[in-house]
Amino acid sequence: MKIDKQTNSHTYWNPYFGGFILGIIIIFTFYITGRGLGASGAMKSSVVTLVDTVAPSHAEHNAYYSTFISEDDSPMNTWLVYEALGVLIGAFISGGLSGRIRWRVQHSPKISSKRRLVFALLGGVLFGLGAQIARGCTSGAALSGMAVLSTGGFVTMLAIFGTAYATAYFFRKNWI
């Protein structure tokens, strides 16, 4: 990536090249681990560990949490946790090397920073709840499903983009 210091504009990777690399990584992940990528598994492990630390008796007697708790192994000892940490660390390294790390809220001039943050938080909570209801994140289901040519993966991807386009119409004034 190049940075033009005079105009402060960034030249990013071609998104098609990025998508191609992501596809190769997913296929490689299937080959090595037998399953696709997914960040919701790392979040689940983190939440289970937190609940087990704060309220161990609740976690032990809860039907959901108890399935992930073991005397021999921590829920945090999974490759998905290391994957998510690697993504975060890599993002900070990339942002630091390119000079893009700073405190700011990007938003349209038509809305306030506070409203943008409220919508981002609401969207994140809805995404997290949906990932738990669906037993995995939508992007992981779509990308991993499509990587193995699963009909469900293609249907999931169409549903994600179809819903996004339909919803974006009603919320576009917040960004345009």
pLDDT class of 53 with cuts at 50, 70, 90: very high
Task: For residue range 120-168, list pLDDT tens digits in order.
Answer: 899 888 887 877 777 777 667 777 777 778 888 888 888 888 888 888 8
The predicted model gives 95-105 an average pLDDT of 83
**pLDDT score of 173 more than 60:** yes
Q: Output the DSSP codes for the chain.
A: -EEETTTTEEEPPPHHHHHHHHHHHHHHHHHHHSS---SHHHHHHHHHHHHHHH-HHHHHH-TTGGGG--SSS-TT-SHHHHHHHHHHHHHHHHHHHTT---------TTS-HHHHHHHHHHHHHHHHHHHHHTTS-HHHHHHHHHHTT-HHHHHHHHHHHHHHHHHHHHHGGGT-
**pLDDT score of 1 more than 60:** no
| CA separation for the pair 48, 26 (Å, rounded) | 26
In 3D space, the residue among 17, 8, 75, 15 whose CA is nearest the CA of residue 43 turns out to be: 75
The reply to whether the predicted model has a pTM over 0.85 is no
Domain range annotation of the chain: 1-102, 106-176
**pLDDT score of 25 more than 80:** yes
Instruction: Provide the pLDDT for residue 61.
Output: 92
Chain centroid to Cα 28, Å, comes to 19
**pLDDT score of 69 more than 60:** yes
* Choice between 41 and 16, residue whose per-residue pLDDT is larger: 16
**pLDDT score of 5 more than 70:** no
Cβ atoms of 78 and 45 closer than 8 Å = yes
Average pLDDT, the chain: 81
pLDDT class of 30 with cuts at 50, 70, 90: confident
Instruction: Provide the pLDDT for residue 165.
Output: 86
**pLDDT score of 54 more than 90:** yes
